[in-house]
Amino acid sequence: MQIVEYRKHLVNKEVIDPEWVIKGGYFYDRDNDTYMGFVLESSERNYYIPDTVTHLTQEEAIQRVKNIHVTYPWLKSKDENLNRVYKTEEEIVTWVTRIIEELPDSANMY
């Protein structure tokens, strides 16, 4: 699987993930209206993915989420006084890594 940053598409008056995104909607960045998702490797597909889609390494994906976290902190929970508790940088790395590593093999996607 490849990690991508993409924008949603308007189809029949509905805003949805592009059909070529196998699993998407992760880590919305409200500053540029993009999401992170996953697509099949180019050798495993026979369809086009637009050249404007940004492909990310795992390290770039983690950094993207860290960058979002600086401006829009990811909420972890609320404490006993209902104060917001935000994820630490280490928790961000673990969170993103777990999502990437828990993806099924592309052979098991269909």
* pTM listed for this prediction: 0.84
Number of folded domains in the chain? 1
pLDDT, tens digit, 9 for 90 and up, residues 65-103: 999 999 999 888 777 777 888 899 999 999 999 999 988
Q: What is the pLDDT of residue 81?
A: 74
Q: Which helix (H) or strand (E) holds 11?
A: strand 9-11
- Which of 69, 60, 72, 19 minimizes the C-alpha distance to 36? 60
Report yes or no: 15 and 8 within 8 Å, Cβ to Cβ. yes
pLDDT, tens digit, 9 for 90 and up, residues 18-54: 999 999 999 999 999 999 999 999 889 999 999 999 9
Query: 40 is in which domain, residue-wise?
Result: 2-108
